[in-house]
Structure 1
Amino acid sequence: MRKFIFIPLTLPFLLILVFIMVILFIFYASVISAAFQKLSIPAPVAYTLFFVAIIGSFINLPIAETTTYAPIMRVKEVRFLGIPYPVPYLDWAEQKVVIAINVGGALVPLSIVSYELMILTLNGQVHLLINTIIAILMASVLSHMFAKPVKGLGIAIPTLIPPLIAVALALLLGDGNRPLVAYASGTMGVLIGADLMNWNKIKNLGASMVSIGGAGTFDGIFLAGVIAVLLV
């Protein structure tokens, strides 16, 4: 008798797969932690923030609830010669939409930017503080121009657009702390410009729940800041 073995389920393949996943995780953690350290965040705190972001990727906190009308399929009964026939038809019904914010993908970057801005305020670095705020506002406007609501998907924006905008603003306004300006404008530009400025369009995306930063550490808000910092 011949025995057929499905190779992907063999032990060597699984061990190699686990090894590759571990290597990729370590690499990803190192890259993100390196970006955090460029913001003058100590290594232990940087790694802690990374793991908080990973765990927080699975946590969505509801912040608002709205209603919209969505098409649904209904079935009505039609009788012909005494015989009932089901006839499907399209109808509109009110649907509740929960808007949430993801801990790892949005709150972690927001907390880092808030902390950095507070440090600038306490240290009296008014010029850099004003430049950072201007960079955030400019990044928000530019991100809003490129962001497009996609039904069933969310607010879509080309991956490299926010980091490139942030790098350009950091080179222009980041004299004294380019990584900070890059990170703040990269993350807050997407959060404000792509998500918050499209608040009225979120409810029409065809989902019962929409999460800001919902992709966690792979979300545009999180990645925009990390990539921007690494590029400056």
Structure 2
Amino acid sequence: MKTLFITLLMIFTGLTAAAEHFEMTFGEFNELQVVDGINVDYHCDPSMAGKVVFDCDPTKASLVMFEPSGEKLSVKLTIRDTKETGLPTIHVYSSYLTKVENDGDSTVRVLSTTPGPKLQAKLVGNGRLSVRDVKVTNLEAELITGKGIIAVSGTAKVAQLKIIGVGQIQADELRADVVKATLTGTGTINCYPIEALNTSGMGPGKVIYRGKPKVTRSGLKMVKAVSADLPQ
């Protein structure tokens, strides 16, 4: 795996007295991983596929690094100080996306996608992961530990939503024919199943659903399924 630091290219734009414009090109990727506390916006744009763009104080630029490996691009920090301020929002571009993962206490936004067979969204920790206007056959959203939030909107044939811990999956703007919701812990899943909802897991977690799907429960049947259309 080859690590490429931000110092590859710097173009001064004069946006502010201290800001510089950074732009570089990597190969095409369809998997995005954000490891540390850095905010990242993903854009689906074939004309800019492989590009990374951001503006910041040049003294902060060396704190960010990228690791391209095959079809995957990782965004990381060179330090572990979570209190570091003044870090930029990184904008990354590719032709399509099949997987996005946020392993840091930051915000990662997928602002546009192309229709496809599958998209995986994974969050570890206390950050946020937002995926907008997806059109896929299978959508997988998984939140592991921490108090993080995954927000998903769009359409899917099947949505598999999973929480381990106390976080939230906000998928009530994702219209899915079938939703499979799995909870371990005290987390909450909001969803919008059109035809069927299956819940499973352990603990006092809750699934709040829109619409009038057929609801079934698997396993120990401990997870509550509550209609959002009825008084709580």
What TM-score bracket applies, with the shorter chain setting the length?
under 0.3
TM-score scaled by structure 2?
A: 0.19
Judging by fraction of residues, say which structure has more strand.
2
Which one has a bigger Cα radius of gyration?
A: 1
